[in-house]
Amino acid sequence: MKALAATAYGPPENLSLIELDVPRPGPGQMLVRIAASSLNPTDLRVAAGDYRAIVELTFPYVLGNDFAGTVTEVGAGVTAYEVGDEVFGQALPRQLSWVVADHLRPSLSTGALAEYAVVEADTPLLAHRPAAVPAEQAAALGITGLTALSIMAAARVTAGESVLVVGATGGVGTQVVPLLAAAGAMITATAGNAAAGDALRELGADRIISHDQADYPSGVDVLLDLTLPVDRLATAARSLRAGGRLITIIFPGPTPEQVGRDDVDVQFLLDPDGVAGGMRDVAEAAEKGLLRATIAHRFPFDQGVQAATAYAQRGKVGKIVVTM
């Protein structure tokens, strides 16, 4: 089978499409023929070596977390799925198991940016794909849809509250902005260009600002950090009113000292067990039309390296999906 892999640490231009044996499922696992997969920041950061202080990769390293596909084989003990089932969700490549090492039902895989992947069957981060949700949509909804639902549950936004969304043009941002608009929030969103701003307005944003932190408003009720590293949070946090809420999804989570505010509520969202909600919730929300992925570009699998390179560039709105 073909797989998009890193053969050494480096930028996305150094990735390769390589040939590997089709993996086989063991007990509690299933083999999925991938129909579509989408890229995430962690894919490129791991391949670039950003986490070498935590784990050294063994190469080749197959990328890919979010996917949609068809079950082609099940291992012993799998009862929730059978051959022919359409499934979707998120599953970390096994070399990143340190993220979920202490968890009960980790969702791991052999890498979803491949023609086939072996995944764990007993995890809330996988689900049957509704027939009404196309595979490309489902592949773009795994992390982003679940994160958007988790953000809304954590933020507890009420009508009339002001929300600053930093990193609004990404996969999570384009999911959460419509949810915030439906909740009646007054949304300020960051965008890198006029076209991106127009796209965010169509999704429900009220005001568009640049990425320059000098443009951030003051006195907002909620700050959603979807892109800033911890060393830039203190400046961003100044936009919050006293008693406001800061929610960040960027690993690693900040300490109070790094935020520089002792008068705001700070939450770091990382839920590898799906405690706050699982992929079935995403499937239900997508089937009802509450979640819909914004897809910036679609690439065929033979252009996987170009897809990764495009993902690293700024200015796009939404997800990049690779179809097999």
Q: Is the separation of the CB atoms in 279 and 124 below 8 Å? A: yes
Helix-then-strand count for the chain, H and E: 9, 18
Overall average pLDDT of the 282-308 stretch:
96
C-alpha 122/C-alpha 266 separation (Å) is 32
pLDDT of residue 38 exceeding 80, the answer is yes
Q: What is the pLDDT of residues 135-186, one digit of tens each?
A: 999 999 999 999 999 999 999 999 999 999 999 999 999 999 999 999 999 9
Q: What is the pLDDT of residues 73-114, one digit of tens each?
A: 999 999 999 999 999 999 999 998 877 655 667 899 999 999
Task: Return the minimum-mean-pLDDT range out of 109-113, 147-151, 266-270, 276-280.
Answer: 276-280
pLDDT of residue 275: 66
Closest CA relative to residue 223, chosen from 299, 167, 303: 167
pLDDT of residue 272: 64
Overall average pLDDT of the 261-284 stretch:
86
Compute the mean pLDDT over every residue in the chain, rounded to the nearest whole number: 94
pLDDT of residue 100: 65
Do you know the residue count of the chain? 324
pLDDT of residue 273: 65
0.75 exceeded by pTM: yes
Q: Is the separation of the CB atoms in 71 and 85 below 8 Å? A: yes
Overall average pLDDT of the 227-245 stretch:
94
In this prediction, residue 54 has a pLDDT band, given cuts at 50, 70 and 90, of: confident
Q: Which residues contact 157 (CB under 8 A, 6 or more apart)?
A: 163, 180, 183, 185, 221, 222
Closest CA relative to residue 154, chosen from 248, 32, 242: 248
